[in-house]
Amino acid sequence: MGTEHDRRRFLGLAAGASTLTLAGCSTAPGDSGTSSSPTEPDESTDTDTPTSQSMSTVFHFARGPDYQQHALANVANLLDDSSTAVENVVVVANGQGVELLVASESNHPDRVTELLNRGVSFRACENSLAARDIEESALIDGVETVPAGVGELTKLQARDDFAYIETP
């Protein structure tokens, strides 16, 4: 049958919707979608204005020191994105990633503090701290601990509806 048959079948299944958007293309039900001219974007959808619904995001950081700056830049970029309304931002660090949150080991303790002051919650995995013989008192002021980083990620996504982003 092939790709064209699969595409038509999918479009047929979506016939109950007033408009179907696929990869930036808008196709109304009954439209074959074979027009040679590109479909104009729906002007009622403005991607440059913040969404009216505030969202929450959890960043997962488990990499080494070479990736700390990039991870923190991702968090700051989200906060600075005026087209995205974000209410809660959490960074969960586990594995080698907890070094980002240890005052004496972090390459960017001032940047972590700056983001804490902007309302970002940083949470260090107690299992990872214990495996590295790191005391909670060694963490940057304001950093919280959680029993298990993976458990915290699971709870935030499943129970609290956080969007998940794995940092580099």
Amino acid in the structure at residue 5: H
Question: pLDDT tens digits, residue range 134-147?
Answer: 999 999 999 999 99
Q: And the tokens for 165? A: 């982003």
* Domain 55-166 classification at class level: alpha beta
Lowest mean pLDDT among 16-30, 41-55, 140-154: 16-30
CB 69 within 8 A of CB 135: no
Answering whether pTM is above 0.95, one says no
At residue 52, the pLDDT reads 57
User: Would you put residue 75 in left (φ > 0), alpha (ψ -120 to 50) or beta?
Assistant: alpha
Q: Quote the CA–CA distance of 98 and 57 in Å, as a whole number.
A: 19
CA distance 71 to 76: 9
Q: Which residue spans of the chain are classified as CATH 3.40.1260.10?
A: 55-166
